[in-house]
Amino acid sequence: MANPLAQAEFVLSANALAQLPKDSLAEVAFAGRSNAGKSTALNALCNQNCLARTSKTPGRTQHLVYFRITENRYLVDLPGYGYAKVPIAVRDHWQAFITRYFQIREPLVGLVLVMDVRHPMRDYDLQMLDYAFKRNISVHCLLTKADKLGRSEQARTLALVKKELAGRASVQLFSGSAKLGLDEAREVVTGWLMAAPIAEGQAHG
């Protein structure tokens, strides 16, 4: 089966709500701590090596970065949590921007929360979950770098996170480098995006 995310292409990076696409029918946001493997996960899901920037420097993504996967549907890379080396004013702007994005962005249909399987459910993760739950936005959690744990430890962590979320979000093991869990994650993301209604006048191209 063809990967519908493979056609993802960069559209824009936004530093203010007014810069966001006006044509979006549906978009799925990716959030995670800056060392959790968010960019690696995005690249793996889209079967592209350099779509999202990967860096060892925390906070490399400093805008909301939009990738179009098909007409009027987008993936959105949110700034990673790792702001220690940026000015306080910049950090505060990002925080306010993301807060408002979650509060008012109507096309947002899902959040993929990327968490290192060895360090899940940290404060930032809980904040992102809270944003989504308040808007009743669907959440899917990727427990990344799962290949770094043994099978029993993988299963234990997966069970603990599922229990903590108590059915409010779906959770899976994932590894972009080991190609673990790609199909499951793609199915969730594409399902959210394609469930959006077709805009009037688009049904017949």
Per residue in 71-90, pLDDT (tens digit) is 899 999 998 776 556 788 88
The span from the CA of 69 to the CA of 54, in Å, is 20
Mean pLDDT of the chain: 89
Categorize the per-residue pLDDT at 160 as very low, low, confident or very high, splitting at 50, 70 and 90.
very high
Specify the higher pLDDT residue, 69 or 84: 69
Domain residues for the domain of 70 are 4-194
Q: How many helices (H) and strands (E) does the chain have?
A: 5, 7
- pLDDT at position 199 is 53
Residue 147, in any domain of the structure: yes
What CATH number is attached to the domain comprising 145?
Answer: 3.40.50.300
Residue 58, in any domain of the structure: yes
Residue 129, in any domain of the structure: yes
Residue 199, in any domain of the structure: no
Helix or strand holding residue 115 (H, E): strand 108-116
- pLDDT at position 100 is 95
**Count: domains in the chain:** 1
- pLDDT at position 85 is 67
- pLDDT at position 27 is 97
Q: Report CA-CA distances (Å) from 4 to 37, 41, 82, 189.
A: 21, 15, 31, 10
Mode of pairing for the β-strands spanning 138-144 and 26-32: unpaired
Residue 11, in any domain of the structure: yes
